[in-house]
Each structure stands twice: as structure tokens, then as C-alpha cells.
A and B are shown apart, each in its own frame.
Chain A
């Protein structure tokens, strides 16, 4: 393998990995606070990308406005989903909310198939994103720089919200003990709605970035990235925000480098991700940066 080729593989890994990281942040945030794996995340991811597409093609909005609007709308949608599908189950066993999440996921997917049609659609990318920068033999896509930077910024922003704001204090209180939080006067429902709002906004942001990298929209586009990001979140330690970023980037590297060094195994690349998940669950269930949950008395 030549040096240029290796660097190209590194850049490819970084792009893919930081996309996984971006999706995983949203997954892990909702889990960290509510202990709920929000399977509908993949569909909100897909809707975020579609909203930008409709904004661009139907209403002819400029890119930044379409992006901002899509993120706002999906955030609102996240809050509505919480109200309809999760809030009535707040006191039910955790598994009920999980099943409800799977239901929401299928529901949104099928609604999208009916209304958006299964025909893939092309995403129009701004031209400054399309043209790669040439560094000798290596080709650097502007997105390769942009996505990791965005993931990192969003990670910092999220850590700030969770650890430095009053709402974040509420979130952490809820994650420790939801009943006591009620008693202490934490506006539990409002904080949870906010959590879903932020989680969905993150899903939308990652969906849009994904659509910029792989410019094709389909109602099922969120499924595989969603699974991968879930693996990344578990790998990094589910519930841990920087764990999600580390897990996502590492998963991207593992996937690309497996193909780079063992090209004959390229067809089994998804299998590697899932085998990885099994091994983590077997040997380090809390993930790389996860904290062991304290047993409640």
C-alpha cells in the first residue's frame, strides 16, 4: 500500500467515522438521560434529510435556511413523538417504552414510504462541497473537514448544556432518579421534552450531513446508519457523550481499514461491526468510556 493510498483510506475513515459519531451523539444523549434506546432516531435522521430536500426543491429556500428550518421542524417532531409515544409510558416498565420506540420507528418509515415514495431522490449539494481538494494523489473532500469539526462542536455544546446549565442539571437529576426529581420540583416533563427536542435536532443534523456525503434520499436510509451509530454508542459506552464520538470514529476506522487491508473480506464489513457489538457486550458491557451503573438500593 502506498503512502498516498493509506492517507486516502485514513481520510475516508475519518469522514465515515465522524458521521457515525454525529448520529451516535443523539442516540447516547437520550439514552444517558432517560435510559431509553430511541429506535426512532434513525427515522428522525431520515426525516431531517427529507425536510431539507423539500425545503430546497419545493419552496426553493437557500441552503442555510432550509437547514435551519429542517432542524427546527424535526426538533418539534421529536417533542411530539415524546408526547404521543413515550410520555404515557413514563411509569410503565422500561421495556414498554422501548417497544413503543420500535413501533414509532416502523410507523415513520412506512409513512415515509407512502408519502415520499420509495424512489430515491438526489440531493443537490452546494458546489463548494462537491469539488475535492487535491493534495498530491490524495483527494480531500471539504466535507471530510466539515463533519468532524461539526461533530466535535456539537459534542462540546452538548456537554456544556448537560453539565453547565440549569436544564442540564435537571437532565442529570432525571437520569439519576426520576421520582425524586418530581419531588424536588424539577419540571420533569418539560426537561424530557427538551431532551427529545435536542436529540431530534442532532438526528436531523446528522441526517443532513449524511445526505451531503451520500447524496441520495430513501425512506429506509436511516436504518443501517442508525444500527451502526447504535453500535458506535455502545462501543464508546452508551450514555457517554465523548464515548459516542470516540466509538463512532473508531467504528469508521475499523470498517474502512478492514476493507483496505483485507479487500477479500469487503462484503462482510457490516458483519464486522455487529461482531464487534457482540464482543463489547460480552467483555466490556459498559463500553470504552462508559461508567458502571451504580446499583440502586
Chain B
């Protein structure tokens, strides 16, 4: 009896194994920070991916399957998440992630396995540097930092800048350096650069010091949750300088969480925002569809990038004509003028997307898209 049972079990396993290897579905993996300090952005990006998935669920006549893994805003978990997607779920392509540190940790795994990965909003140049299989639908920080510096120095006429940087975060350190470089080149003065560590909640010591140096602008390349606390404390300590940040500050909840402390805050972002005046048809459709699915909740650029990342993979699969990682990788590298929610996207030689830098201002408790800027590089 037992032997028969064992035999059945073996047959069942063999069968299951066979079903697994069958090539009748397109398997797309998603790894994003759904919990932890970056959950804010990760959840929005996932909602963008899911919306795209709902819209187009088949490609080349095959059904698409989506596998979502949480990387918990943690570098080690991020590598594990990608490993699981590749080894267990046998995905053909991967979407992710929010957060450059997380993208780098996960990217190492995809690169080794030879599975194409499309980053959503990881902007540090190192994410794709020297990588064959790693791409992204966003621009990179040297470009963004230059955009922020150009806007501060030229458009706003701010000459003295201070920075408050998260030393434990690759994105923050990188963006700070690019801002400094461009701001200096334009003729501005950097009065100080002070550091903190991810997870800190008290910034009073750093801010007191910064206030005493009387800068015109404080640049905080931080994540959204920390940025909101920094601005609150700056206000409590009587800061009067302008505060600017990067794309990681882009979140529909910024006004809710920051209250009056974020009034006048400007951040750079990717060229999409629901408050944008002249949207391309894709962006218009995306905004309308989003509002149908999520009533009472504004879309943001992260959701748009999640959507674009999914669509750009489908575009590559269509052009490749087959569902095979190597072919998808080749097609992704050849992406030219793909029109997404965040504008026309061309993947350049370093696998990064080229698009202009957008600017958002918080005005009267609302996010307002100011326009975009071509940085002085």
C-alpha cells in the first residue's frame, strides 16, 4: 500500500514538474518594497503594474502571469526576492524596483541568472552600470541632480545651498553629489553637507546647525517619510530657506503627512503628474483609468512608472516575437521612442531612459506640476 502511495507521489511530482516547465504562459516577476520604509513608493508602483496587467493580460497569444514578491525595503530581502522569482517562479522578465540600493542588490541576482530586469524608479547610475540584463524606465541621478541645481540657481536665483543626506542610502548620497557638482559649476556655493542615517527621526541638531549658516536653499535627497519629518522640524526651528528634494519625495500623500510644513517645497520628478496641464494621450488615459479603479486616490509618477515598466516589457516581447529572456533582453536594449505615461522613452547605451526632468511645487496644500527643465550639464 505504502509503495503504491509513494509511486503515486512520484508520478504526481513528475507531472507537476512537467506542467511547470510548459511554455504556455508568460511569467513576469515583480519585486517591490511593499512593507518597510519604502512601502510608500513600492505600493504605488505595484498598483501601476497591476493596472497595466489588468489592461493587457495576454501577449503573442499567451496568458501573462504576474508574480509579486515583497523586498521589505531591505537589501538582503531584495536579493532573496529576485532569487525566488527566478528559481521558484521561473519568470521570463522582472519588474523592479523602487529604491536604488534595493535595485542593485536584486540586479546582481538577475544579471547572474541572465533574466532581464526593468527598474521602475531606481535612479542611481550604478544600477545599470556594466550590466547586460538590467534596464530602467526612469532617468538617472546625474541628470536629475543637475536639473534640481539648474532650477534652484537659474530659475529661483538661490545662490547658497546646504544639504542633508542619508549616508546609509546609495540614492541619497549619489543625488546629493550630483546636485553639489552642478550647483558648484553654475557658480553657487555649498555652505554645508550634513548627514543622517535611514530611520533617524530626530534631525534637530543638524537643522539647528544648518539654520545658523543661513543658506538660501536646503536640498534633501531623502525618501518621503523622512523628508516630511525633516520639513516639520525645520519649520518648528524657524527655518525660512527654500527646501528642495528629488523624485523620492513624489507622493500624493505629501500634503497630508507634511501639513503646512511642506508648503513651498519643490521637488524634481519624472515628467508625469495628475496636475500636469498638457498630458500626452497615454497619460490622459492612465489618469482617467486610475481614477475609475481608485476613487478618491490620486495617481502619481511611481504608479505611472510601474505601468510603463510593464508595458515596455510587453513591447519588447512583441518585437522579440518569442518569450525567451535572451531575446527579450535584446529587444529591450533596442527600445526606441516607446510612448508611455511618462513620455516617449528611448533606452540609451547605458540602459537608462532619456526623459526631461519634471518639477512639482506644493502650493496651497496641493501638488502642482510646474513644468519640466532641461538641465545645464
Interfacial residues, chain A to chain B (CB-CB below 8 A):
1-2, 5, 8-9, 12, 15-16, 113, 117-122, 130, 132, 134, 139, 141, 214-216, 218-221, 223-225, 255-257, 259-260, 263, 266-270
User: In the assembled complex, how far is the CB of residue A95 from the closest CB belonging to chain B, in whole angstroms?
Assistant: 27
Do B257 and A118 touch (CB < 8 A)? no
One of B59-67, B126-134, B152-160, B203-211 contacting the partner? B203-211
A118 with B205, Cβ < 8 A, contacts A214-B229, A215-B232, A216-B257 known: no
A218-B225, A255-B205, A266-B196 given; 7 more Cβ-contact pairs under 8 Å: A12-B202, A118-B35, A119-B253, A139-B237, A267-B167, A267-B195, A267-B196
Do A256 and B205 touch (CB < 8 A)? yes
Do B201 and A118 touch (CB < 8 A)? no
Do B197 and A269 touch (CB < 8 A)? yes
Do A12 and B259 touch (CB < 8 A)? no
User: In the assembled complex, how far is the CB of residue A4 from the closest CB belonging to chain B, in whole angstroms?
Assistant: 9
Pairs across A and B, CB under 8 Å, 30 listed:
A1-B212, A2-B212, A5-B208, A5-B209, A8-B208, A8-B237, A9-B208, A12-B205, A118-B34, A118-B39, A119-B40, A119-B43, A119-B253, A121-B257, A132-B236, A134-B238, A139-B237, A139-B238, A214-B201, A214-B229, A216-B257, A220-B199, A223-B199, A224-B199, A255-B205, A256-B204, A266-B205, A266-B206, A267-B167, A267-B197
Query: Within 8 Å of chain A (Cβ to Cβ): is B26?
Result: no
Do A113 and B205 touch (CB < 8 A)? no
Complex CA gap A222/B225 in Å reads 15
Interfacial residues, chain B to chain A (CB-CB below 8 A):
34-37, 39-40, 43, 165, 167-168, 192, 194-197, 199-202, 204-206, 208-209, 212, 225, 228-229, 232, 236-238, 253, 256-257, 259
- The 4 A-B pairs with the shortest beta carbon distances in the complex, nearest first, are A267-B195, A259-B205, A118-B39, A267-B167
Q: Which residues of A contact B257 (CB under 8 A)?
A: 120-122, 216
Q: Which residues of A contact B34 (CB under 8 A)?
A: 118
Residue A260 contacts which of B39, B209, B259 (CB distance < 8 angstroms)? B209
Do A259 and B206 touch (CB < 8 A)? yes
Q: Which residues of B contact A132 (CB under 8 A)?
A: 236-238
Do A12 and B225 touch (CB < 8 A)? no
The residue in B40, B208, B238 that gathers the most chain A C-beta atoms within 10 A of its C-beta is B208
Complex CA gap A113/B74 in Å reads 15
Do A12 and B208 touch (CB < 8 A)? yes
Complex CA gap A130/B165 in Å reads 26
Do A259 and B209 touch (CB < 8 A)? yes
Residue in B closest to A267 when the chains form the complex, CB atoms: B195
Do B236 and A141 touch (CB < 8 A)? yes
User: In the assembled complex, how far is the CB of residue A224 from the closest CB belonging to chain B, in whole angstroms?
Assistant: 5
Q: Which residues of A contact B194 (CB under 8 A)?
A: 259, 263, 266
Q: Which residues of B contact A113 (CB under 8 A)?
A: 35
Residue A263 contacts which of B192, B202, B232 (CB distance < 8 angstroms)? B192
Residue in A closest to B36 when the chains form the complex, CB atoms: A118
Q: Which residues of B contact A223 (CB under 8 A)?
A: 199
Q: Which residues of A contact B259 (CB under 8 A)?
A: 122
Residue B228 contacts which of A16, A216, A260 (CB distance < 8 angstroms)? A216
Q: Which residues of A contact B197 (CB under 8 A)?
A: 267-270
User: In the assembled complex, how far is the CB of residue B303 from the closest CB belonging to chain A, in whole angstroms?
Assistant: 14
Q: Which residues of B contact A9 (CB under 8 A)?
A: 205, 208
Complex CA gap A141/B168 in Å reads 30
User: In the assembled complex, how far is the CB of residue A264 from the closest CB belonging to chain B, in whole angstroms?
Assistant: 8
Do A263 and B206 touch (CB < 8 A)? yes
Do B205 and A214 touch (CB < 8 A)? no
Complex CA gap A267/B237 in Å reads 20
Complex CA gap A224/B201 in Å reads 9
A260 with B195, Cβ < 8 A, contacts A118-B34, A214-B229 known: no
User: In the assembled complex, how far is the CB of residue B329 from the closest CB belonging to chain A, in whole angstroms?
Assistant: 33
Complex CA gap A215/B256 in Å reads 12
Residue A117 contacts which of B37, B39, B200 (CB distance < 8 angstroms)? B39
Q: Which residues of B contact A270 (CB under 8 A)?
A: 197, 200
Q: Which residues of A contact B228 (CB under 8 A)?
A: 120, 122, 216
Residue B202 contacts which of A2, A16, A216, A218 (CB distance < 8 angstroms)? A16
Q: Which residues of A contact B225 (CB under 8 A)?
A: 120, 216, 218
Complex CA gap A113/B37 in Å reads 11
Q: Which residues of B contact A225 (CB under 8 A)?
A: 201
Complex CA gap A7/B202 in Å reads 17
Residue in B closest to A221 when the chains form the complex, CB atoms: B201
User: In the assembled complex, how far is the CB of residue B177 from the closest CB belonging to chain A, in whole angstroms?
Assistant: 14
Q: Which residues of A contact B212 (CB under 8 A)?
A: 1-2, 5
